[in-house]
Structure 1
């Protein structure tokens, strides 16, 4: 009764707010005339409109529903066309266009389902395409999943796919591992623009955090080498983020205003997140704005587990020196909190039925982020660092998009995407009880231009081709500062200042329907990579002053998919990928934790991946699904750190300390193989189950374990749905990486516990979790969850910070 009364009162208040928005719209010229064959797509259970439903004819011409679940299909296909409605998390529905009523609204009801049949993906060929006919594994994460799971960052979102492993060195971090590859060997793409830059490093990175999860419409993860479509770096896979799009009003003369807001808190790090977005649209022009702000305090870990993961002491700066303080709550990871701010502005203009322009601006800023794993390092029994933090990490992107959809001979559709990005980051560290803080600053300006074409020769023969040009310029400066006097002195910068990296490429992919539900996909890409670096400003003596690389790479793929039964399929795919050296590989100066330093190597060459996979996706009566994918990859000419010499010496003096010299070199290679499996079932109209498991194994030519081969990890969940309520209980499990399976670069790190013989290893762990959502009415939804219910104390493999303990999450979303 209390909930019903609250819902009634809240519904009344929301109705008043919506009336105010409607009056505002009327004042600037709204028209509510319903046009012929308008459709509203809603959830069959609660009647809530579903946004971003794909509506297609023969999986070739596509429209999407707006925030009201509405779409005008009058000009989609012929009068007797078969319309297909598809959305992740719902059963696909097809109806005859002729059955739709004219001059009034038609309502289409989609039934929720764990089984995604005939799902549409964009990232595989850069245009909408039915997933079942493509010989690739693709995972889709949509807006509904984001709202339900409430990830704090985009790294957490990717991890909640249960197909990607996430490593963290600090709370403000998150480095995805896909099929044994990570960092600069996997590719990030935002709205069609590659995010990887010339200084994406081989170590763990946190750039994915720049993408605001609350502004994401859809994320597609492509597994395996994707260099034909995306070029360098796409070895393990591609994470393609599509942010929320401006929506046009359906009819001429109509003006539409919509707004959304969200508040969220979580107890493990005292999260306070606020988000709002709003869309203002006419029939041919729309503006979308998204703003998010988050504050995270120091993270509290679980109570039950090894005390190695606690924080018993921490460093404090006194008037003139550092001292070690006892932590009154060792489960609180002091110096782990940070803040984040994101804003996104998009403008969209429809010049006519065939021409659309887009202009976007993204801005993201992380505050100072303490490098937690470094702050817990010890040397001679004492804390090693008095300070170690990343300065504010900023990302800006201005993007211009142009789409032309009128066939003109050599293409049926054209997309142009031009972008400028600027990445700013810095590192600041000071040894314990030292007055000298070292400061290093990096800036990358990245320019890119993409032309992507689509050509349908027949209904069975499709060609996708395009051109891409990317140019990166890197700025790198550094100085040491006495924190007591302010005096500054020169130190070695991280990269050669003013260095450049560029890539120019062309690609083509051919898709042929062979009949009998067989589909062939094959393609090739040629890329030319040019690098210029100048080391004449180097503080350390080097036997070279410049480095120039001008190299080409040819990659290709061949795959075939066979559909059978009720949207089941089996497929095989073989392909190659490559990663060209970047400025981080060729030109980085970097001190390691083990008494070594990394120096530049001007002679690096690209590394190549040769990979094959086979997959089967079996569906039964739209209620059960099982998918199994096995893959095997050979990485040739692999890039890795190895000992070297400088002017005949194997050690050099760095800041008064004699350090062994290493460099990034081309070594023999590595084998990476694995299998992933998933199962889903709609047991009844209300209950469903899902499960997934991933196993990866990697070995270098010398027999040593491969660093980025994640441990075995799996997930099992049970879901329940009734009218406006939805809940899910799930268990996450990670297997052990034993001492003999630890990569050489991991064995000496201080982030791991040790066995009775002093050997490092990563123990297994599991968590039990519960999440739910209740929609009070059409406009207000409440999400809540408890993560790590058993309050387990654990640390994921390769991570420098311990995972959250028992974590209570509450979020409220409202549509105005």
Structure 2
């Protein structure tokens, strides 16, 4: 009897055990979480837990069961066959293909094969691998994007020869560009922490139909991480810690997410501390002293020194360090099965950021500025996004996005030989509302219509004050008085409002071709008032501008077979002058930019052709894109007399006056070549090269912000828990004849000088970089990187700071 009972217990336990299966990665043997498991005869769906385990007790023994995960190849297996594999299911990683989901072209999900525009995407896995110190460093790794830096705490992306207020920055569907985004170089891209990004999409060319004003060069869209719903309560914690030797960076980032059936939360906080940046010491370009810092100012908010200090290590770029804190909180609520609400709070705040290029500026052979730094750069965003699917004839799905942003920036400066310190402070409030909707016009979803509205309102407060320091020895003990300082923007207040409506239409005209069209109407209003005329008296101290424009795009993606895709796009872009264009007053290198209230909108008309060749079952691809852009009424700086005089007295000096003015026509053309994919099971590669050229038609002079030829080549190896890659970045020479010497944006003074005392342009450079990663366990990963292995010295085009030298970086990631 006891033997019979033992046999029954054995078979019952075996039966119970057989209902649980473990799902594993075939390479690493790590369990796979959140794998979707479903059967052919059962509507119930189950998901694997964090140990990769899933209960299959409700499936029939003869039922075919599917195991599906976004990152792995889906497999099917009879339940009764699971005992033959010891109740373990091994999944293979998906090969990287070109059928990526793209979000930025129509604010709806589209596959790359239906999109004609040039787009580059960096997903979370790639961002973690790159380990960028800032989001500007992340953008610099994306094909077709060049980044300029005036100081380490910044980074101005250049797309197709255009940057700053001609490139639109967007985060989670909310435009970051505001009424004081400036011409030249802009450092706002670092206010989004790279550790919070789920993906970044870069859309090249005029995209004003969907995004409106400012997107002449393209769009950079940051998508931060969004929590997911879960049928069973889940808590996930992650932690990142990184150290980099080149500037003694210490970055710590922690996040926690809670997932439930009806709501979920994601919280992230990061802190980065950067010390002074060391440049490369290997000077292959032959200019021994170029970029070296022989003396610097050690003045601070409380410390006074009337003289510069000798730098014991000229390769160490004094006054480049700063720190930054970033906080992200997202809450998502399931209002119903067809609607959800996302609440998004973001806050970024830096310490004071030294303006390195101004602190190394000389006058009569000595440093000009004892102090020149940005006050804490602050960005706060609160947004709510409500998505719903009413499934009506006039609207299948829609999203309402309402947001409030507050931005604060300030500039503090004082010259050597003076006790007068000036403060210029700007505060911007931005209110925005977007409505984006879509309708499938056929049951096959081969025809769709998108339409929407957008309204933004900017309120700008700008004020300035001068304070005379009170000093005892080397200590600043207070102030002895105030003095008048010219504000950067209209001191009587200003506001800028934009409203727009748009519609776009996408249709698969055949099995081989997809047509993309769109049209948008935008209207802008600007009001500004100047009060103080101590330094500059304008013909009109009040200004009211109203501009409107109709823009359109037509694109066609043609797929003659499974291995080719041919793209063509015609588009127009529009940018209305903002408050920075019309009302800014600022000094640089003895030139003061003054207001021009007669400024008009600028337009861009672009045509581009592209081709993608798929190889090896779409595991490898080669892409080529060429474009031509005609700029009409484009805005550029030139000498601009005020009240009949070409000079004014500003900050105690006689300086020339320049202003933004409209010019007739100019052109920019260029191309980008990309390739990438899997060479074998364990090896893959990627490469890109970008060429840009731009000149004015009337004068024949080069346009500003046109980078030289640049690109990269990467080789990567991955097997089981180990991943390694070797990256080679290169940049061609920027010749002196290709510089714009009038506007000052290209910063010719940052290039080396030859024996005759003439600037020679930016020398070519290259850097070799090594990356390695090892998964110690499923939840613990360690990364080690060596950037600029040969410690080469170079400067990015138009940058005021030398690039980092050899850098050893180690990161620890815990999930």
- Per the normalisation by structure 1, the TM-score is 0.88
Is residue 806 of structure 2 the alignment partner of residue 806 of structure 1?
yes
Distance 1:70 1:566, change over 3 A: farther
Q: Deviations over 1:60-109 (max 9, x none)?
A: xxx9x99969999xxxxxxxxx999896xx68x5779999999xx99783
Give runs of aligned pairs for residues 55-74 of structure 1, distance below 5 A.
none
1:276 to 236, 254, 260: 254
Distance 1:99 1:312, change over 3 A: farther
Which position in structure 1 is the counterpart of 2:148? 167
Aligned to 2:523: 528
CA–CA distance in structure 2, aligned partners of residues 553 and 778 of structure 1: 54
CA contact (8 A) 1:52 1:69 kept: no
Distance 1:519 1:550, change over 3 A: same
Quote how far apart the aligned CAs of 1:352 are: 1.2
The superposition leaves residues 306-342 of structure 1 with CA deviations (integer Å, 9 ceiling, x where unpaired) of 3211111112349865212211111110111000000
- Could you give the per-residue CA deviations for residues 405-464 of structure 1, whole angstroms, max 9, x where no partner exists? 131221100101100000000001111121111110001000100000010011221011
The structure-2 alpha-carbon separation of the partners of 1:110 and 1:434, relative to structure 1 and needing over 3 Å to count, comes to farther
Specify the alignment match of 1:467 in structure 2.
453
Deviation digits for residues 229-261 of structure 1 (CA, Å, limit 9, x no counterpart): 000001111111110001211x2xx32111001
Q: Secondary structure at the match of 1:447?
A: strand
Confirm or deny that 1:189 pairs with 2:170.
yes
Q: How far did residue 51 of structure 1 move?
A: 9.1
Say if 1:394 and 1:424, in contact at 8 Å, map to a contact too.
yes
1:786: which partner in 2?
786
Q: Which residue of 1 aligns with 2:488?
A: 494
Whole-angstrom distance in 1 between the partners of 2:532 and 2:498: 26
> Which residue in the other structure is 2:701 paired with?
704
User: How far off its partner does 1:52 sit?
Assistant: 11
1:408 and 2:386 equivalent? no
Q: Deviations along 1:682-714, whole A, 9 cap, x unmatched?
A: 222111222110101111221111111111101
Aligned counterpart, 1:505: 500
Tell me by how many angstroms 1:538 deviates. Answer: 4.1
Match of 2:282 among 304, 312, 315: 304
User: Once the 2 structures are TM-superposed, how far is the Cα of residue 119 of structure 1 from its aligned partner?
Assistant: 0.9
> Residue 61 of structure 2 corresponds to which residue in structure 1?
none
| Cα distance, 1:489 vs structure 2 | 1.9
The answer (yes or no) to whether the contact 1:294–1:341 under 8 Å persists in 2 is: yes
Measured in 2, the distance between the counterparts of 1:188 and 1:399 equals: 16
Q: 2:216 aligns with which of 235, 256, 269?
A: 235
Structure-2 change in CA distance of 1:615 and 1:432 (3 Å): same
Which residue does the alignment assign to 1:34?
Answer: none
Q: CA deviation at 1:752?
A: 1.1
Q: Is 2:569 the partner of 1:587? A: no
Q: Which runs of structure 2 are paired with 1:451-466 in the superposition (5 Å)?
A: 451-458=435-442, 459-466=445-452
Distance 2:81 2:192 in 1: 42
SS at match of 1:625: strand
Deviations 1:640-675 (CA, angstroms, capped at 9, x unpaired): 111122222222222332222211111113200001
Q: Corresponding residue for 2:227?
A: 246
Match of 1:750 in 2: 749
1:541 to 2:550 alignment: no
Kindly report which structure 2 residues correspond to 1:557-576, keeping only aligned pairs within 5 A, or say none.
557-566=553-562, 568-576=564-572
Aligned match for 1:133, one of 92, 114, 126: 114
- 8 Å CA contact 1:340–1:366 kept in 2: the answer is yes
After TM superposition, the structure 1 = structure 2 runs for residues 370-769 of structure 1, keeping only pairs within 5 Å, are 370-458=354-442, 459-484=445-470, 485-497=479-491, 498-539=493-534, 540-566=536-562, 568-593=564-589, 595-620=590-615, 621-701=617-697, 702-744=699-741, 745-746=743-744, 749-757=748-756, 758-769=758-769
CA 371–748 in structure 1, closer or farther in 2 if over 3 Å, else same: closer
Tell me what 1:59 maps to.
Answer: none
CA contact under 8 A between 2:748 and 2:761: conserved in structure 1? no
Q: Distance in 2 between matches of 1:280 and 1:727?
A: 33
Distance 1:124 1:799, change over 3 A: same
Flag the 1:42–1:565 CA change in 2: closer, same or farther, 3 A. Answer: farther
Q: Do structure 1's residue 121 and structure 2's residue 88 form an aligned pair?
A: no
Q: Quick check: 1:53–1:69 contact (8 Å CA) kept in 2? A: no
SS in 2 for 1:487: strand
SS in 2 for 1:356: strand
| Superimposed CA distance per residue, residues 147-206 of structure 1 (whole angstroms, 9 cap, x where no aligned partner) | 111000000011111321010000101000011110000010000000000000002111
Q: Structure 1 residues 94 and 571 mapped into 2: Cα distance closer, same or farther (>3 Å)?
A: farther
Equivalence for 1:332: 316
Partner Cα separation in structure 1 for residue 257 and residue 606 of structure 2: 44
Structure 1 unaligned segments of length 5 or more: list them. Answer: 1-37, 56-62, 73-81
- Structure ID, larger Rg: 2
- List per-residue Cα deviations over 1:754-779 (Å, max 9, x = no partner): 23441340000000110010001110
Partner of residue 262, structure 1: 240
Q: Is residue 772 of structure 1 aligned with residue 772 of structure 2?
A: yes
Q: Distance in 2 between matches of 1:759 and 1:143?
A: 42
Aligned mates of 1:538, 1:630 — CA distance in 2 = 49
CA distance in 1, matches of 2:49, 2:317: 41
Asked if the contact 1:463/1:509 (under 8 Å) is kept, the reply is yes
Measured in 2, the distance between the counterparts of 1:165 and 1:598 equals: 26
CA contact (8 A) 1:444 1:473 kept: yes
The 3 A distance-change label for structure 1 pair 454 and 709 is same
Is the partner of 1:146 in helix, strand or coil? helix
For 2:335, which of 351, 357, 372 is the aligned residue? Answer: 351
Q: In structure 2, do the counterparts of structure 1 residues 120 and 170 end up closer, same or farther at CA, with 3 Å as the change threshold?
A: same
Instruction: Call closer, same or farther: CA 1:457–1:372 in 2, change over 3 Å.
Output: same
Task: Compute the displacement of 1:112 (Å).
Answer: 5.1
Distance across 2 between alignment mates of 1:613 and 1:532: 37
Q: Cα distance 1:41–1:610, how it changes in 2: closer, same or farther (>3 A)?
A: farther
